[in-house]
Structure formats: C-alpha cells, structure tokens
Amino acid sequence: MNTETKVTTTPSRSGTLQNRQRAVLNPFEEMDRLFQGLFPRAWGLPARWEWPAWADMEMPFEGRVPKVDVVDRDAEILVRAELPGVNKDDLDITLAEDTVTIKASTQHESKEEKGDYLRREITQGAFARTIQLPAAVQGDEARASFKDGVLELTLPKAAPARRHSVKVE
C-alpha cells in the first residue's frame, strides 16, 4: 500500500511545494511542459512530409564541446579530452594556475565533379573549453600527447598542492 503525505505551507498558483522544488531542480522539464501546452501533438507536422522528429535533431552545441576526464594523482593531474576530427596542429592549449583551456578550429572541404554535376561541401567548427583543475599546476613542466583523436595532458602539481601523508604520533 502506497501512502503519500503532502504538506503545503501556503497556497500557491504554481502548485505544491514538491512541484515547485522539482521545477527548480529541473528547469528544462518545466519548459518542456510549457511548450507541450502551447503546441499540442495535433499541431505536429504531417507524417507524409517525413520531417525529422524534434527528438532526433542535433542540439546546437552538441558534439562541439569535447568530453573531458580529469584524474587527480599524487604528484600530477591527468586531463584526457576526446577530440575526433581535430588535427594536432589545430589545437591551442593554455594553462593558468588551476585552469586549462583547450581550443580548436577545424575546416574540411570536399569537392566532387562528374560531367555537369558539381558537389562541394565545406564543414567547419570551433570550440573552446576551460576546465577548473583540482589543484594548481606547474605549466612550464606540462606534457601533452595526441593520438587517435585523444589529447592527454600530464600536468605536474605545484609544490604546495601535492598530497602528503602525516603520521600521527
């Protein structure tokens, strides 16, 4: 048997306290609900046009920001970034005390000619991502490698930031 207790402290036009908390925690869910109210499914595009579904469309910045792993080791920080389609020469990496910024811009052009037919496509993209590091690093001793679309940065920690064990006497 499922029992549920709801407590409302003051009357509200936006619903119960639980609903308002949920809206604060997930604002996108609230926006989805509002748009569904404005544009019901009956107003959708005719199926015979075979337009792509909204859920299948790519988000504006999806795929343009690299996925990054940050590993905090005793004496260093390892940063791995997935950068498919990026060449080593297109990378720009800058370090500050406790941040690293990875930037890249790419451009690819393809051309196909067959008789009277000409197809030309130019693809370009750019991104920048700044990552807050868990500790200050020594930028002058940083090492970087790039292989198979994966960037690895090995960043030695600054002396005061290194972990030390303290023995209790």
pLDDT score recorded for residue 47? 46
Examine the domain organization and report whether 145 and 81 are in the same domain.
Answer: yes
Domain count, the chain: 2
Any domain includes 168 = no
Examine the domain organization and report whether 104 and 27 are in the same domain.
Answer: no
Examine the domain organization and report whether 44 and 117 are in the same domain.
Answer: no
Examine the domain organization and report whether 117 and 34 are in the same domain.
Answer: no
Residue 106 has pLDDT above 90, yes or no: no
Q: Considering the entire predicted model, what is its pTM?
A: 0.55
Range ranked top by mean pLDDT from 33-47, 62-76, 120-134:
120-134
Any domain includes 152 = yes
Q: Do residues 141 and 120 touch, judged by C-beta distance below 8 A?
A: no
Burial 11-22 (b: 16+ CB within 10 A, else e): eeeeeeeeeeee
Domain that holds residue 79: 68-161
Q: Residues 77, 90, 133, CA angle at the centre, nearest 5°?
A: 20
pLDDT, the chain, mean: 75
Q: Which CATH number characterizes residue 137's domain?
A: 2.60.40.790
Examine the domain organization and report whether 78 and 41 are in the same domain.
Answer: no
Any domain includes 77 = yes
Any domain includes 11 = no
Any domain includes 112 = yes
